[in-house]
Amino acid sequence: MKMCRVFFAMAVLSLSLAVNSTSWDYRHHQASRHRYTIESTKTAMDAALQTPHPHLDIRSIKVIQSSENQPVHGDTRVRADVVGFEKDVEAFAAAGTLQSITSIHVGNHVQGKISTTLSPMKVLKHEGYSEHQVIAKDRREVLACMEGTEGYLDDLKGKTGKESMLYTKNPFFDCFRPSHEVFDFLDTMTEQNPDFMTKYENVSITYEGRAIPAFKISTTSKQEEVIMPKKTLYTQALIHAREWQAGAATFYMMASMLDELRAGDKAAINLFDNFDWYFVPIVNIDGYLYTWNVNRMWRTNRHLVHWNGQEVGVDLNRNWPPEEYFNLDPSNVDQETYPGEYPLSEVSSAGLFDFIRTLDSLGGILDMHAFGGQVLRPFSNQPGSGVEPFGSKMRTLGNSVRNALSTHPNVQYTSETGANLYRAYGCFDDGMFLEFNYTVPALTIEVEGSDFVSPQASIRSVGQNIHLGLRQFAQEAHEYTQQEEVEADVRKEDQLHINEFGRNNALLHEIRDRKKVLKAKLDTLDDANTDLMMGEGDNSFVETSEKSAQEYIEKRVEEANTEFEKLQAEEAKLEARQSILKKLLYSRFGQSINLEDS
C-alpha cells in the first residue's frame, strides 16, 4: 500500500516515546488530505495509474464483487481507496476519464461527492475524513492509553508462575506500543517462559544500525533438537512501518501461543509437536520509530536516496530476489515502492534472507501486513499460482486460511494471488516461494480493517482472529510439506523440465537444419536470378505455368524468406525458454546435471 508523507512531531514523556497531539509539522500546512473511493473499469484505472500522481496515496485497488474463478479484463469494475488533495484526485480521475473522452463532474451527495455522469471513473469523497484530524485524534488517544496503563510491565514482572495473568489480558494490549515497549514485553515473556521461548538478539540489522531480534516459540529442549529436529515456521511483521495493526496482531499471536502452552492446551501442544515457530515481530525498526517520532504514515525504511527529484526510502517488500523478477516495470514505481538498486541491497533484507535459509526443515512462511482482509499467495510477479501441483495446493491452503479468518459476517477475508489485478516485483513471499522451489508455502496476510490508523479497541479482536488464521496455516503447512509427497512432486517437476529441455534441443536442431536448407535454396535462387539477368543458363527448372522466369524466382525467394523469418522467431523463443530451464535446472542440480548445449 502506498502513502505520501505526512509529518508530525512527538514529545518525550517519562523516557518513553509519546505524542504531543497539538504539535504537527505537515508538509502541506494549510490543507489536509481527504479520502476518496474511485470506481471505474480496469482500463480506465490503468490509464490513470500510468500518469504521474506523486501526492496520492493509492492504498488499495480491488475488483468489485470479485470471484477467484472470474477472469479480470479491461471491462472489469474495480474500486480504489485513495488519500490525497482534491485537485490531485481530480487530475488522476481525469486521466482515466480520457478513455471515453468524458470529463469528471462532481455533484453533491449525502455521503460526499460522487460523479453523476457515465464517466468511467466515479469519485466518492469521504467528507468526514481529514487525514490531519484522524492522525491527531489517534495520537491523543494513544498517549492517553499509554498514560492510563503505566506500570503494566512492573505488574507482569511481579507475578510469576500460577499467579501470573494471561498475557493477552495484560494492559499491554490496550494500546499500540512503540518498539522499546514491544521488546520489553516480549523479553519479559521470554524470561518467564524459558522452556517455551527463546530470543535471538541479532538475526539482522537495520540501515541505522539497530539489531533486529527474532523469537522462537517451541516445546523442544536443546537436547531434543539434536535428536529429533522439527519443521519450522517463520512469521514476520512491520516490514512496512505504518502498518501498526499487523504488528499488534503478531504480538498478540505470540502471547496467545504462550498462554495456551502454559495452560496445557491440547491443540497448541499438538501444533508444537510438529513445528518450532520463529517470529521477527518488527522488521523495519527504523521506519517504525519514525512513525512514532515524525511521520505516522511512513512506509519504507530510512535509507534515503534521491530518486526522480524526491528523497525516498527503500520499500523492503520490493527488495527480494530472484534478480530475473526484480523491478521489471520501473514505470510503475513511485516514492512508496522504490525497490532499491538490486535484490537484497538493504542490509536488513540481506540479513533476514540469510537467517531464513539457516532454519532447519522450513515448513511455512508468513508476512503480516495491513489492511483490507486478504490472504495473498504467490505470485505477484507473474500471472497464475505457479506450476502444478503446487499452484492448486497453494490455492487450497490460501482458501483454508481465508475461511478460518472469516469469523463474522462483517469480517470476510478474500483469497487470491498477489497479481490478481496488478503485478508487483521483489515481494517477500514471491522471493521465498521461488527460493525454496515451491516446496515451502508462503503467504501474505493483510489483516482486517479499513485504515492504517485503527482503533485501539480492535487490537484484541483482530489478534484473536489472526490467531485462528495462523493456527490454520500451521495445519495446512503441515499437510503441504509432507516430505515424501513434496519430494515426489519435485522429482516429477524436475523430470518434466529435463524432458522439455531435451525436446527443445531437438526442435532447435531441426530448425537450424531447416534454416541451412533454406539458406542454400536462397543462394541457388540468387544465382539463378543473376544468370537470368545476364542471359546465361537454360532456366529449365522454371515451370511453364509461370509468366516468366523472373516472376517465378521472385515468388520462390519471397516464400523462402517468409519461412526463414518464422524459423528465426521460433528459434529465438525456444532459446529464451532454454535459458530459463538451464537456470532452473542448474539451481536444482548444480553442475552434476549434463545439459547439452543447444
Share of the chain above pLDDT 70, in %: 83
Q: Is the pLDDT of residue 18 over 70?
A: no
% of the chain surpassing 90 pLDDT? 53
pLDDT band, residue 519 (cuts 50/70/90): confident
pLDDT of residue 180: 98
- Asked whether residue 93 is domain-assigned, the answer is yes
Summarize the confidence of residues 327-343 as an average pLDDT: 91
Q: Are residues 476 and 557 in the same domain?
A: no
pLDDT-derived band at 544, boundaries 50, 70, 90: very low
Q: Which of 72, 100, 133 is the C-terminal boundary of a domain?
A: 133
Residues 123-141, mean pLDDT to the nearest whole number: 91
Per-residue confidence (pLDDT) for residue 225, from 0 to 100 = 66
Beta strand pairing status for 34-41 and 77-84?
antiparallel
- Residue 99 included in any domain: yes
Name the range with the highest mean pLDDT among 128-142, 376-390, 537-551.
128-142
Give per-residue pLDDT as tens, 35-71: 999 999 988 998 888 888 888 899 889 888 766 667 8
Domain boundary among 481, 500, 524: 481
The least confident of 92-101, 391-400, 445-454 is 92-101
196-201 average pLDDT score? 97
Phi and psi of 321, rounded to 5°?
A: -75, 175
| Interval 128-151 mean pLDDT | 94
Do 339 and 472 lie in one domain? The reply is yes
Per-residue pLDDT at 237? 99
Residue 21 has pLDDT above 50, yes or no: no
Domain finish residue from 98, 133, 168: 133
* Distance separating alpha carbons of residues 429 and 245, to the nearest angstrom: 20
Statement to judge: residues 475 and 520 lie in one domain: no
For 567-588, what is the mean pLDDT?
Answer: 84
* pLDDT score at 107: 34
Least confident range from 95-109, 252-266, 302-316, 497-511: namely 95-109
Are residues 472 and 530 part of one domain? no
pLDDT of 197 higher than 90: yes
Please indicate, yes or no, whether residues 518 and 452 belong to a single structural domain of this protein. no
Q: Is the predicted pLDDT of residue 376 greater than 50, yes or no?
A: yes
Are residues 492 and 476 both part of a single domain?
A: no
Answer yes or no: do 441 and 497 share one domain. no
pLDDT of residue 435: 94
Average the pLDDT over each of 11-15, 221-225, 310-314, 585-589 and give the range with the smallest value: 11-15
Q: Which residue has the higher pLDDT, 536 or 355?
A: 355
Predicted local confidence at residue 551, as pLDDT:
79
Mean pLDDT value across residues 409-429: 91
CB half-sphere exposure, 228, CA atoms < 13 A: 8
Pick from 352-361, 383-392, 543-552 the range whose average pLDDT is largest.
352-361
Q: What is the mean pLDDT of residues 396-420?
A: 93
Q: Is the per-residue pLDDT at 252 higher than 70?
A: yes
What pLDDT is stored for residue 215 in this prediction?
99
* Mean pLDDT score across all residues of the chain: 85
**Domain annotation covers residue 3:** no
User: Do 95 and 237 sit in the same domain of this protein?
Assistant: no
In this prediction, residue 481 carries a pLDDT of 81
Q: Which domain holds residue 405?
A: 176-481
Q: Is the pLDDT of residue 431 over 90?
A: yes
Residue 579 and residue 519 share a domain: yes
Asked if the structure places residue 1 within a domain, the reply is no
CATH of the domain at 274: 3.40.630.10
Whole-number Cα distances in Å, 185 to 121, 148, 152, 243, 400: 47, 17, 9, 19, 32
255 within a domain of the structure (yes/no):
yes
Q: Report the pLDDT value the prediction gives residue 549, as an integer from 0 to 100.
A: 74
**DSSP label of 18:** -
Contact in structure between 82 and 57 (CB atoms under 8 Å):
yes
pLDDT at 540: 52
Is 159 a domain residue? Answer: no
The pLDDT value given to residue 593:
77
For the chain, the domain total comes to 3
214-243 mean pLDDT: 88
Residues 37 and 184 in one domain: no
Q: Known catalytic residues? A: 446
Three-state helix/strand/coil letters over 322-353? CHHHCCCCHHHCCCCCCCCCCCCCCHHHHHHH
98 or 36, greater pLDDT: 36
pLDDT range class, residue 552, cuts 50, 70, 90: confident
CATH number at residue 92: 3.30.70.1710
- Note the pLDDT of residue 532: 67
Which has the minimum average pLDDT: 66-70, 350-354, 504-508?
Answer: 66-70
pLDDT, mean of residues 158-178: 86
Rounded to 5 degrees, φ, ψ at 81 are -105, 115
φ/ψ (deg, to 5) at 329: -135, 75
User: What was the pLDDT predicted at 106?
Assistant: 35
For 522-582, give the DSSP string.
HHHHHHHHHHHHHT-S--TTS-TTSS-HHHHHHHHHHHHHHHHHHHHHHHHHHHHHHHHHH
Higher pLDDT, 464 or 543: 464
Phi and psi angles of residue 216, each rounded to the nearest 5 degrees, phi first:
-110, 130
Within a domain: 375 = yes
What is the distance between the alpha carbons of residues 36 and 21, in angstroms, rounded to a whole number?
25
The pLDDT assigned to 446 comes to 97
Q: Are residues 544 and 411 in the same domain?
A: no
| Residue 7 banded pLDDT, cuts 50, 70, 90 | very low
Is 100 domain-assigned? yes
Q: What integer pLDDT is reported at residue 547 of this predicted model?
A: 54
pLDDT at 543 over 50: no
Number of neighbouring beta carbons within 10 Å of residue 458:
16
Say if residue 387's pLDDT is above 90: no
Same domain as 500, residue 476: no
Q: Which among 65-79, 347-361, 506-520 has the top mean pLDDT?
A: 347-361
